[in-house]
Amino acid sequence: MQLSWLDLSIIIFYFIFVLSVGWYLKKFTKTGKDFFLAGRECTSWVAGLSFLAANMGALELLGWSASAYQYGIIATHWYWIGAIPAMLFLGIFMMPFYHVSKTHSVPGFLKLRYNEPTRLLSAVSFSVMTLLASGISMYSMGLVLATMLGWDFNTCIILSAGTVAVYVAFAGLKSAIFTEIIQFFLIWCGALLIPIIGLVEIGGWDNLVAMVSQRTAEMGKTGEFMHLWSSMGRYSDNPMGLHWLGIVLGLGWVVSFGYWTTDFLVVQRVLAAKDMRSAKMAPIIASFFKMAIPFIVILPGLIGIAVLPELKPADSGTFSLNSYNAVLPLLIKRYFAPGLLGLGVTALIAGFMSGMAGNISAFATVWTYDIYRSVIYKKGTDRSYLNMGRICTVVGIIISIGSAYLVMQFASIMDYMQALFSFFIAPLFGTIFLGMFWRKATDWGGFWGLLTGTCSSISMFLLLKFNLIEGKWLAFSNDASAMAQNMWRAWWAWCITIIITVIVSKFGKPKSDEELVGLVYGITKFEKESSYSLFHRPSFWACISLVAFLILNIIFF
Amino acid sequence: MISQKKMIPVWFFVGILLTIYGLVVFISGIYWFVRPINIVAGYLHAGIWWGILMTIFGLFFIIKNVPKKVE
């Protein structure tokens, strides 16, 4: 793909713009609270859009449009049942605890609810995973830009990582949130035009459905490509090899609730909300936009099936312009003239940088508050922790670059990344869930539940990997795909965490009610929503979002 | 009386970027209207109307969030 001087100018202007925003925000960042929590003064819209943008990296856009090309509309489950109920649950039931406890991080909440070892276990695993995820994202970005635009791989990585390091080091979460929102709008402006032009070219939705059926038959693909639920009665009836029960329990409950309610990468944004109502509204506002994302991600994948039927699967750790992964860039090239093309490519770069900034700002907070301050240097001043935040932002980026080159040597790491991340997400959700909703969970019950759940998840993965157990032991069928097995593994790891926490708690002494105020449901009293007018009540908008979610699922059933 | 600067809201920055990019996309759209280029569905001249929409959107954000000095 050849870029004109106009397209390049658009990209260069973007880099200058985000650096300038970071520089501007630096003078408003004077305390640790400013740097790590954006001053806790974000409105619900700012926190909500940033919450969503941190998850909306380019890898996500490219990956899910490729999945839609490969598996059809079923990939939408990751945006709807795999996100919306969890986001609403976070807003209505969990944000009040995060907000009232005044915690600065998710591991910080574990310290308040359980004990120091539980916090440390969670903080260390989160730091390792975040830096590895950031490296993988960086590697993918270098690969995509190098292949698509013919740029040098090293230059792509160093330029974008350097830019992120500079603007996050300037103002921490504050600049991460500002740039994420700017990137959010850029992504929509760059990507929304693709399905609009695509549908005009194809002749509307009905023609798209007919063409997808025809093309998938020509490609020799089996299974239902244009329905969400109707083909999920058996693993073999849909191209993803999934079963509805696995989707509901694994994705809809454990994986999505684990990610959206306990992954500090996203939760950090809502912790920055200025008051209780904003904290509750933020994920609810985000849920409406999350529901709309399939129109700029999944729909282009389906349009790709119709107009670019020649794409092939890519080898692990590679990116080629005739692979599924290239469907979105190829559509940009197909429909966009110079000028618009620059906007489309800038949207992709913005997406990569948004994900990177999210990872790094979350890492800086967890490292500084939950590891450095709690274990290494307890008597520091606010100024010294602020400086540490800036230093570890830069160090975190350097480690991420290192892990990007590590991935380059061992491309199969990418295959295991989803699994690696899920080792920690499902058990963490179990621990926090019991911590918030069961007052009898004890300090050590939480710790051992989290540790056992994590170890059991890793063990199940290894047993399956080395064929020591069969897939049906976890997923009730040998037809279950690796993705379906991942979901069932998450479900079992969550169950084990819950069971162990309950058993260990039975032998320990729970904290007193006074110690649990602000941390546990039933003990804590929150302000009533009835003091707001109907249109200002979070629960009202959560109901509207839930109804929209149900309607969409029925339409595409 | 001391005047101090308040932090400019993020929406103002969003407006600036959308307006500049909208104008660039619009002008390039006009250029490709005069000198047609070979792309699929090029007859839609997406650059022109998409650029106008982005500019309007951007200007809306700017006007609603112009920084004011706090006395």
Strand partners, A273: A42
Helix A340-365 vs helix A153-191: crossing angle, to nearest 10: 110
- The CATH superfamily of A5-555 is Sodium/glucose cotransporter (1.20.1730.10)
A-chain CB neighbours of B21 within 8 Å are 10, 186, 189, 343
Q: Which residue of A has its CA nearest to B27?
A: A339
Domains of chain A, residue spans: 5-555
**What integer pLDDT is reported at residue A113 of this predicted model?**
95
Among the partner residues B13, B37, B51, nearest to A21 by beta-carbon distance: B13
The structure tokens 């390049």 sit at: A8
C-alpha span between A126 and A427 (Å, rounded): 12
Chain A residue with minimal CA distance to B40?
A335
Q: For residue A415, is pLDDT > 80? A: no
The reply to whether residue B39 touches residue A46, judged by beta carbons under 8 angstroms, is no
Q: How far is B41 from chain A (nearest CA, A)?
A: 6
Q: Is A339 in contact with B25 (Cβ distance < 8 A)?
A: yes
Residue A144 pLDDT > 90: no
Residue B19 is predicted with a pLDDT of 96
Report CB contact under 8 Å: B13, A186. no
The pLDDT tens digits for A188-241 are 998 999 999 999 999 999 999 999 988 888 877 777 788 888 888 877 777 777
Where does the pLDDT of residue A287 fall: very low under 50, low under 70, confident under 90, or very high at 90 and above? very high
Average pLDDT, chain B: 88
Q: List, in order, residues 6 or more apart from B71 with CB less than 8 Å away.
A: B1, B2, B3
Measured between alpha carbons, how far is A1 from A147 in angstroms, rounded to an integer?
A: 9
Task: Indicate the pLDDT class of residue A424, thresholds 50, 70 and 90.
Answer: confident
Give the model's pLDDT for residue A449. 96
Q: What is the pLDDT of residues A347-401, one digit of tens each?
A: 888 888 888 888 899 999 999 999 999 999 888 899 999 999 999 999 999 999 9
- Report which DSSP code applies to A304: H
Which of A61-65, A118-122, A266-270 is least confident? Answer: A61-65
Is pLDDT of A293 > 60? yes
Q: What is the pLDDT along chain B (71 residues), one digit of tens a residue?
A: 444 568 899 999 999 999 999 999 999 999 999 988 888 988 999 999 999 999 999 999 999 998 876 55
In A159-202 the beta strands, taken as DSSP E runs, fall at: none
Decide if A182 and B7 are in contact by the 8 Å CB cutoff: no
**How near does any CA of chain A get to the CA of B68, in Å?**
16
C-alpha span between A133 and A359 (Å, rounded): 8
Please report the DSSP string for A264-275 in residue order: HHHHHHHHTBSS
- Report CB contact under 8 Å: A334, B40: yes
Residue of A nearest to B9 (CA): A178
In percent, the amount of chain B with pLDDT more than 70 equals 89
Show which of residues 8-27 on chain B sit within 8 Å of chain A, judged by CB atoms.
Answer: 8, 10, 13-14, 16-18, 20-21, 24-25, 27
Average pLDDT over residues A463-469: 85
Query: Between these two residues, A133 and A85, which has the higher pLDDT value?
Result: A85
Which chain B residue is nearest to residue A175, measuring alpha carbons? B10
- Residue A483: the pLDDT is 74
Q: Are A339 and B28 an interchain contact pair (Cβ–Cβ within 8 Å)?
A: yes
Average pLDDT, chain A: 89
Q: Are A367 and B71 in contact (CB under 8 A)?
A: no
For residue A42, the distance in angstroms to the closest alpha carbon of chain B comes to: 10
Per-residue confidence (pLDDT) for residue A289, from 0 to 100: 96
pLDDT of residue B70: 55
- Determine the Cα–Cα distance for residues A497 and A453; give it in Å rounded to an integer: 5
Q: pLDDT tens-digit profile of A241-278?
A: 778 888 888 888 888 999 999 999 889 999 999 999 99
CB contact under 8 A, B10 and A185: no
Contact B10 A13 (CB under 8 A): no
ipTM field: 0.92
Say if residues A389 and A141 touch (Cβ distance below 8 Å): no
